């Protein structure tokens, strides 16, 4: 990967999030125009932070790629004992986050590939569709190493990112029923599990939420969005012959009651513990 390539990829990302900042300002829809996905992401991060094993000795929480600060603004109300840091690459989104003036929250400009924090500064890290904005695997690996470096030993990370298996399964289901494939967004590179899992396993243990005190694996389920994606992007467009991106209809909302079934969502959640 050349430095020219990195600069132009960075420009793609900056430009995309500048448009998001201008269009959505401090809204929940900033960077996520599907409100059910946003709701379910916030719910799973809440469930993660409430896991009994995670609440013990945890105080310092870092969100990598905190965008306009919407998610942190909700979490900081629900978790008054935690100190939150939000870090983001986009000055435009960061400015909106800072204007929220949240106590116990610090927002900083930064780059996931080269974090400015000291080793082992945080007890907990989470990401919400951030590392897929690094448009090659080398830089994604670099970001994973950096998150590992700034997390304390035994600390936990919830890695909510997009993966090719769910994306391909969804398109296969659509194609079987005569619907076109949904293209991968131009500003994203989804993770391939064949590369991701061996690499991440060197740095982190992949953890079952039940071993951390969850009542069931559904509380922090890897495929927490699978049923929603299948309903919103296969069943709904099939029945209506409509736009696959019309997501928040009553039909789709009705089926949010389903537990996670299958692996039909690109966006998935890995629960990880730093080794050592
Ligand atoms: C899909 S948005 C999600 C934002 C936020 N987590 C949310 O859910 O609203 C991805 C975020 O990652 C940020 N980002 C992209 N590349 C980054 C990098 N190299 N370092 C830090 N943040 C980055 C973007 O600016 C953007 O705010």
How far, in Å, are 13, 31, 149, 150 from residue 112 at the CA level? Answer: 13, 17, 12, 11
Q: Does 71 sit in the ligand 1 pocket, CB within 6 Å?
A: yes
Q: Are 68 and 93 in contact (CB under 8 A)?
A: yes
Q: Does 67 sit in the ligand 1 pocket, CB within 6 Å?
A: yes
pLDDT in tens, 99-150: 999 999 999 999 999 999 999 999 999 999 999 999 999 999 999 999 999 9
Q: Does 126 sit in the ligand 1 pocket, CB within 6 Å?
A: no
Residue nearest to atom 26 of ligand 1 (CA): 67
Pocket test for ligand 1, best of 67, 114, 188, 190 (most atoms within 8 A of CB): 67
- Ligand 1 centre to CA of 14 (Å) is 10
Pocket test for ligand 1, best of 62, 108, 133 (most atoms within 8 A of CB): 133
Q: What percent of the chain has pLDDT over 70?
A: 95
pLDDT in tens, 163-175: 999 999 999 999 9
Q: Has residue 76 got a pLDDT over 60?
A: yes
Q: Has residue 243 got a pLDDT over 90?
A: no
Secondary structure percentages of the chain, helix, strand, coil, to 5: 45, 15, 35
- Ligand 1 centre to CA of 53 (Å) is 28
pLDDT-derived band at 271 (thresholds 50, 70, 90) equals very high
Q: Does 66 sit in the ligand 1 pocket, CB within 6 Å?
A: yes
pLDDT in tens, 22-63: 999 999 989 898 999 999 999 999 999 999 999 887 799 999
Q: Does 89 sit in the ligand 1 pocket, CB within 6 Å?
A: yes
Tell me the C-alpha distance between 241 and 49, whole Å. Answer: 40
Q: Does 226 sit in the ligand 1 pocket, CB within 6 Å?
A: no
Tell me the C-alpha distance between 263 and 265, whole Å. Answer: 6
DSSP-assigned states of every residue in 163-208: BHHHHHHHHHHHHHTTPPPPPPPTT--PBPHHHHHHHHHHHEEE--
- Ligand 1 centre to CA of 240 (Å) is 33
């Amino acid at each position: 990967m050349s430095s020219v390539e990195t600069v132009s990829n960075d420009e793609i990302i900056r430009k995309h999030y500048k448009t998001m900042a201008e269009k959505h300002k401090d809204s929940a829809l900033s960077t996520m125009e599907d409100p059910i996905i946003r709701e379910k992401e916030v719910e799973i991060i809440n469930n993660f932070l409430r896991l009994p094993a995670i609440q013990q000795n945890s105080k310092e929480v870092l969100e990598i790629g905190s965008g306009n600060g919407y998610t942190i603004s909700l979490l900081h109300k629900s978790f008054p004992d935690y100190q939150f840091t939000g870090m983001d690459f986009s000055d435009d989104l960061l400015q909106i986050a800072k204007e929220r003036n949240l106590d116990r929250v610090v927002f900083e400009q930064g780059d996931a590939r080269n974090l400015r924090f000291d080793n082992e500064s945080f007890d907990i890290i989470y990401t919400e569709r951030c590392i897929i904005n690094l448009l090659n695997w080398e830089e994604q690996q670099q970001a994973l190493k950096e998150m590992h470096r700034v997390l304390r030993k035994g600390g936990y990370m919830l890695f909510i990112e997009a993966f090719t298996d769910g994306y391909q399964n969804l398109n296969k289901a659509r194609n079987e029923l005569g619907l076109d494939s949904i293209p991968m967004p131009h500003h994203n590179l989804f993770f391939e599990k064949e590369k991701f899992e061996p690499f991440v396993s060197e740095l982190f243990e992949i953890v079952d939420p039940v071993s951390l005190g969850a009542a069931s694996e559904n509380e922090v389920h890897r495929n927490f969005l699978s049923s929603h994606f299948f309903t919103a992007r296969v069943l709904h467009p099939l029945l209506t012959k409509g736009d696959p991106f019309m997501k928040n209809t009553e039909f789709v909302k009705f089926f949010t009651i389903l537990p996670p079934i299958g692996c039909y969502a690109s966006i998935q959640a890995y629960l990880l513990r730093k080794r050592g």
